[in-house]
Amino acid sequence: MTKHFPPSVSVQSSVGDLSRLVVALTLAALMLPVNAQTLRLPGAARAASLPPAAAAGTDSRPGDFIVAVVNSEPITNNEVQTRLARIEQQLSRQGALPPRNQLAREVLERLIVERAQLQLARDLDVRPDEAAIDQAAVTVARQNQLSLDDFKRRLEADGVDYKRFRADLRDELTLVRLREREVDSRVKVSEQEIDQFLRERDAQALSSPELLNIAQILVAVPETATPEQVNVLQAKAERAMTRIRAGEAFAAVAAEMSDSPGAAGGGELGPRPAERLPSLFVDATRDLQAGGLAGPLRSGAGFHVIKLIDKKREAASVSVTQTHARHILLRLSPQLTEQAAKDKLADYKRRIAAGQADFATLARENSQDGSAKDGGDLGWATPGMFVPEFEQVMNQLKPGEVADPLVSRFGVHLIEVLERRERALTEREQREGARNIVRARKTDEAFNQWVQDVRGRAYVEFRN
């Protein structure tokens, strides 16, 4: 069990917030789909798959010039401009484009840090093997929903040389291996640190804001209403309150009399922190117990009759959502291409939907993994048990739904979700989740310090 608590995601740098964003846009995770020409990044805290185009090159093109030297290795203006243009494309789509001069300085600093790390990797003989680079290329292609050959053609069409692409993958994997050796492997988490984390988590839960679930009936009052109209509308709100006090269901009265957009659903607003609710509602429910009524209350919108559904504090997370799924796996081979596997599984899905075939029977007869004998049944799974590409699709399915064929690093899958449940975490699972979070925090801190140390030991000369 490794993900009972979601690890905090942060992007490391020693230069500031903008640098952290630059790092996020330039350090490849090899896990997210990209377009070969313009990177797609779903959030500033997650890295794109396609590495920077000229991160490791030292040759200068005509008209180029050296802007910095790192331990005798030059960084050219073209390298900076290539990286800068790519990051500006991404930032412009996010609507967060900083001044170009400032961003250029951050990009240059990032290139300096990367170059110093790559030099250290060479000194320590840290390097990925060719098989790892091949697998990384296949992963990027698959996450773009392309075969490797199609992905090469896409790169070529976008003006990206595949050899340059592989060189960039090699550099990115080298940086990952270097971090694993110099930072990750040295981070230890003690039992005392886990105890402290759990104490802080519990204390935070006790001091967390109240969650109020309130239902309302709104009798809207137009801004131009006359005093007579206001009196009529107030009387309507009072009739609503009278009917509820007489025993009618609040939801039924709300559906009939409320002008609120949520009236059809009984007027319930859903659990919200008190600070996200109007102070009029918070003050009116302060001394109420669950089920209590207040109103009519006058606001700028009109008259409100409100009911306190529930009042509680957000508890510390001690449960996990488990998914019971099954799948059919077809492994790729010279005899079975990716497209052929997709077509075969798509036909299985069509036959299952039409009632012409049974999922479990098809799995027993065709699936190529250990679950075949059980009809593809994978049992109850906790988050983090499956590879991300499989889990992402599985989590989007409702019970009873079958996904379209999915390509993972193992082959092509047809997934069906059978059911879901919430299960309380055992004390051991909670401690393991806490250990993962503490380790991630300590690793981030250690990485920041290590980056600064590597940068500080490098001889850097800036040129005009």
The pLDDT of residue 295: 82
pLDDT, residue 20, reads: 40
Give the residue-averaged pLDDT of 21-27. Answer: 40
Sign of CA dihedral 22, 24, 25, 26: positive
Residue of 17 and 204 predicted with greater confidence: 204
Q: How far is CA 19 from its chain centroid?
A: 20
Tokens of 369: 């993994």
Q: What does each C-alpha distance from 394 to 1, 46, 56, 342, 373 come to in angstroms? A: 18, 21, 38, 17, 21
Across 114-134, average pLDDT? 91
Residue pair 67/462 in contact by the 8 Å Cβ criterion:
yes
Percentage of the chain lying above the pLDDT 70 cut: 81
**What was the pLDDT predicted at 315?**
55
d(CA 277, CA 282): 7
If you classify domain 210-313 with CATH, what class do you get?
alpha beta
Average pLDDT along the chain: 79
Q: Kindly report the CA angle at 234 between 232 and 235, in degrees rounded to 5?
A: 65
Instruction: Identify the residue with better confidence: 317 or 57.
Output: 317
Across 253-318, where does the E strand assignment appear?
A: 272-273, 293-298, 302-313
The CATH number of 319-424, from 3.40.50.1980, 3.10.50.40, 1.10.15.40, 3.40.720.10, is 3.10.50.40
Could you tell me the sign of the dihedral formed by the alpha carbons of 355, 359, 365, 367, in that order?
Answer: positive
Give me the torsion for CA of 169, 170, 175, 180, rounded to 10°.
Answer: 100
Question: Count of CB atoms within 10 A of residue 437's CB?
Answer: 19
Q: How many other CB atoms are there within 10 angstroms of residue 175's CB atom?
A: 20
Is residue 327 predicted with pLDDT exceeding 60?
yes
Closest CA relative to residue 94, chosen from 22, 183, 189: 22
DSSP assigned state of 43: S
Domain 210-313 and domain 319-424, same fold? Reply is yes
- Mean predicted confidence (pLDDT) in 359-383: 92
Task: Provide the residue type at 174 as one letter.
Answer: T
pLDDT at residue 11 tops 60: no
Q: CA 158, CA 178: separation in Å to the nearest integer?
A: 31
* Res 16: pLDDT: 38
| Full-model pTM | 0.53
Q: How far apart are CA 152 and CA 137, in angstroms?
A: 10
Task: Report the DSSP pairing between strands 272-273 and 293-298.
Answer: unpaired
Q: Which of 85-99, 240-254, 324-338 has the lowest mean pLDDT?
A: 85-99
pLDDT digits (tens, 9 = 90+) for 411-455: 899 999 999 998 888 888 888 888 888 888 888 889 989 998 999
Q: Dihedrals φ, ψ of 258, to 5°?
A: -80, 145
Chain segment 279-316, per-residue pLDDT in tens: 888 888 888 888 889 888 888 778 999 888 887 765 55
Chain-centre distance of CA 229, in angstroms?
A: 51
User: Using CA atoms, how far apart are residues 114 and 125, in angstroms rounded to an integer?
Assistant: 16
Provide the residue ranges of all domains of the chain, joining segments of one domain with +.
17-187+442-462, 210-313, 319-424
Buried b (16+ CB within 10 A) or exposed e, 193-225: bbeebbeebeeeeeeeebbbbbbbbbbebeeee
In CATH, the number for domain 17-187+442-462 is: 1.10.4030.10
What pLDDT score was predicted for residue 41?
Answer: 23
pLDDT value of residue 336? 85
Average pLDDT over residues 22-30: 37
Tell me, what's the pLDDT at 437? 85
Assess whether pLDDT exceeds 60 at residue 370: yes
Helix axes 148-157, 162-182, angle to 10 degrees: 110
Helix axes 191-206, 427-457, angle to 10 degrees: 110
The total of other beta-carbon atoms located within 10 Å of residue 275's CB is 9
Q: In the predicted model, is pLDDT for residue 136 greater than 50?
A: yes
pLDDT digits (tens, 9 = 90+) for 245-270: 988 888 888 888 887 766 666 778 77
Q: Which residue has the higher pLDDT, 455 or 135?
A: 455
Q: Report d(CA 382, CA 367) in Å as an integer.
A: 22
Across-strand partners of 294? Answer: 306
Cβ contact 26:49 at 8 Å: no
Q: Which residue has the higher pLDDT, 2 or 400?
A: 400
Mean pLDDT to the nearest integer, 142-168: 84
The tens digit of pLDDT for each residue in 171-201 reads 999 999 999 999 988 999 999 999 998 888 7
Rounded distance between C-alpha atoms, residue 145 and residue 268, angstroms = 42
Instruction: Identify the band that residue 215 occupies on the pLDDT scale cut at 50, 70 and 90.
Output: confident
CB within 8 A of 203, min separation 6: which ones?
none
Q: Is 291 exposed, middle or buried (0-12, 13-18, 19+ CB in 10 A)?
A: exposed
365 has a pLDDT exceeding 90:
yes
Find all residues with CB under 8 Å of 269, minimum gap 6, and list them: 213, 214, 215, 216, 262, 277
Characterize 72-87 residue by residue with b for buried, 16 or more Cβ atoms within 10 angstroms of its Cβ, and e for exposed. eebbbbbbbebbbebb
Instruction: Give the residue-averaged pLDDT of 366-389.
Output: 89
Please write the tens of the pLDDT for every residue from 201-214. 777 666 555 788 88
Round to whole Å and give the CA distance between 167 and 368: 34
Task: Write out pLDDT tens, residues 46-93.
Answer: 222 333 333 334 444 557 899 999 999 999 999 899 888 888 877 776
